[in-house]
Amino acid sequence: MKDAAPNSRRGVMRRVMTSPALLALVVVLSFFWQLGAMPLYDLDEGAFTEATREMLAGGNYITPHRDGEPRYDKPVLIYWAQAVSTRVVGFDEFGLRLPSALAASVWVLALWFFVRERLDAPTATVAGLALALSLQVSLIGKAAVADALLNLFIALTFFEIYRYWLALDFKAGRRFVLRAYLWMGLGFLTKGPVAVFFPVVVSLLFVLSSLRWSKASVLALWYWLRAAFYPLGWLIFLLVAGPWYLAIYLDDGAGFFKSFFLQHNLGRFEGAMHDHGGFPGYYLVMLPVILLPFTGWMLSLFKRYRSAWLDPLDRFLWIWFLVVLVFFSFSGTQLPHYLLYGATPLFILMARHREALTNRWLAFVPPLVFFGLLLILPFVLDVAMVVSARPYDAILFEEARHAITLEYGIAALGGLLLTALMLRWSSPPLWQRLVLVGLVQTLVVYGEVAPRVLDTLQAPVKEAALIAKQTQLPTVVYRTSMPSFSVYREAITPNRAPKPGELVFLRVDKLEPLTQEHPELDLELVYHRGHVALLRARPGD
């Protein structure tokens, strides 16, 4: 009788933590809270949204443009989604980010249905909670870029592939094959070959991992080949993705194909683009950060790594993750969000084997370190201002230091103390306590950290753009790549030296080169805050 009350409390806690209602609340918090409250960040959000703005302003829905020049970085689907969204809810930060928030929400929903179908509803809810609360997923779910949309289509494709494998009959599984080709087509329209490459490679390796060179194994390989070369599937793929690729060729010639496929795909693998290089172990370092606060939970999976290969679902999920990890580890261009293409299976594995997380220090040291670093950030910035070799960096560090107030400190300290409390709390399982830490992390990051970071980096850009828009003077930028300036000014901004009578927007470290190269200019300061400035080239007498 003495244990009845604790057991009852544990049962209530378990039901709460596996409730779809909690998952719905987390989705709203992770992807929609503060969605329109922060300015667009450069370079990525600014570039995507300026292309969308010019698409709406110019009426060219085929070839995306940025500041009047074709933007060949990505295919068109994200621009179309942002265009529709802003037509419905308005052209602002919320409208531009809404497609990503919706895509991330459907990503969680798709994962929930798949896991419930393969395992059970509580496990599906836990997997959805881990996905929605992880740091990198919540970041792209709130960003006006293509990654949430792409990850949705990649996940949907893999779910269909596994459903087809279980059908064991081509006629019974044909609907899964056709849906997989549909999702691959939409993914190809979002970010290109990556949406096809990983499903094909992973599914083939999964089939090969199941072979025992028997008659049944040969039939299994034939089963994969029928799906991989299914004419109707490829027809669906071409009908979804083909019309736009044909249209941009007719509209713009071979420029998109040369730039996108050769430079932005093959070129990214062969070398570092935009200084986004790394090293072979880069993603082993970044994975713990990407999955915060669930880093220790993920590491606990390796205790069952060998036995996992005996279970088809676990083996499929591990191959999915490892192929993405290995491929991008040898890519010349490395960015943290690339690894998300292989993160979905980790959340499923974490949820399925949640009881394997038994070491409280393994579970809580990563979020404790994270909140600790947030707490000492002001001191780090003080040191960085002193040791910085470039004046421009010193200005950024100083601006960031000024943005950190008492409220920030209280939030960071609160996150640290609540995480420490979860470490000491002995009643709920560790995974449940980590989900609560994930909620705290979301509140701290998007309630204090992200708004202050973006206010430091991007609020001056937005303010300068609005001033330039109000003056209605011709405006240029000089050696400065901050495309959100054009978004907020609602006009194309050429990148060149100003002429008399024009405004020029620039980073403050570009002012000296401008005056040295163009001594004839009589520049008048119009606006200056932190690392950016807006000046007017006064007309001569």
- In this predicted structure, what is the pLDDT of residue 392? 87
Distance CA 80, CA 99 (A): 10
466 and 500 in contact (C-beta within 8 Å)?
A: no
480 and 505 in contact (C-beta within 8 Å)?
A: yes
Average pLDDT over residues 475-493: 97
Question: Does the pLDDT of residue 1 top 50, yes or no?
Answer: no
- Bigger pLDDT: 405 vs 498: 498
Distance CA 92, CA 534 (A): 22
Question: Does the pLDDT of residue 219 top 90, yes or no?
Answer: no
Question: Which secondary-structure segment (H or E) carries 535?
Answer: strand 532-537
Distance CA 82, CA 94 (A): 10
- In this predicted structure, what is the pLDDT of residue 387? 86
Average pLDDT over residues 505-510: 95
Cis peptide before 391 (omega within 30 of 0): no
6 and 113 in contact (C-beta within 8 Å)?
A: no
Which amino acid is it at 398? E
Mean pLDDT value across the chain: 91
DSSP annotation string for 180-248: HHHHHHHHHHHHSTHHHHHHHHHHHHHHHHT--SSHHHHHHHHHHHHHHT-HHHHHHHHHHHHHHHHHH
Residue 354 burial (CB < 10 Å; 0-12/13-18/19+)?
buried
Q: Which pLDDT tens digit goes with each residue over 348-403? A: 999 999 999 999 999 999 999 999 999 999 999 989 888 887 888 888 888 888 88
Question: Does the pLDDT of residue 488 top 60, yes or no?
Answer: yes
239 and 184 in contact (C-beta within 8 Å)?
A: no
Question: Which secondary-structure segment (H or E) carries 494?
Answer: none
267 and 331 in contact (C-beta within 8 Å)?
A: no
Question: Does the pLDDT of residue 272 top 80, yes or no?
Answer: no
Residues of the chain with pLDDT > 70: what percent?
Answer: 93
DSSP annotation string for 423-439: HH--SS-HHHHHHHHHH
Which amino acid is it at 476? V
Distance CA 342, CA 7 (A): 37
- In this predicted structure, what is the pLDDT of residue 2? 47
- Bigger pLDDT: 262 vs 145: 145
- In this predicted structure, what is the pLDDT of residue 396? 87
Confidence of residue 43 (pLDDT cuts 50, 70, 90): confident
- The set of residues, in sequence order, having a beta carbon less than 8 Å from that of 476 and lying 6+ positions away, is 493, 494, 495, 496, 497, 498, 502, 503, 504, 505
Average pLDDT over residues 203-224: 79
Average pLDDT over residues 248-276: 70
437 and 422 in contact (C-beta within 8 Å)?
A: yes
Confidence of residue 3 (pLDDT cuts 50, 70, 90): very low
Average pLDDT over residues 224-248: 96
Total residue count of the chain as it appears in this document: 541
Question: Which secondary-structure segment (H or E) carries 279?
Answer: none
Question: Which secondary-structure segment (H or E) carries 415?
Answer: helix 406-424
Cis peptide before 43 (omega within 30 of 0): yes
Confidence of residue 337 (pLDDT cuts 50, 70, 90): confident
The pTM of this model reads 0.94
Lowest-confidence range among 123-132, 185-194, 385-394, 410-419?
385-394
Tally of CB atoms within 10 A around 43: 12
- In this predicted structure, what is the pLDDT of residue 308? 72
Residues of the chain with pLDDT > 90: what percent?
Answer: 75
Lowest-confidence range among 86-95, 195-204, 296-305, 364-373?
296-305
Confidence of residue 496 (pLDDT cuts 50, 70, 90): very high
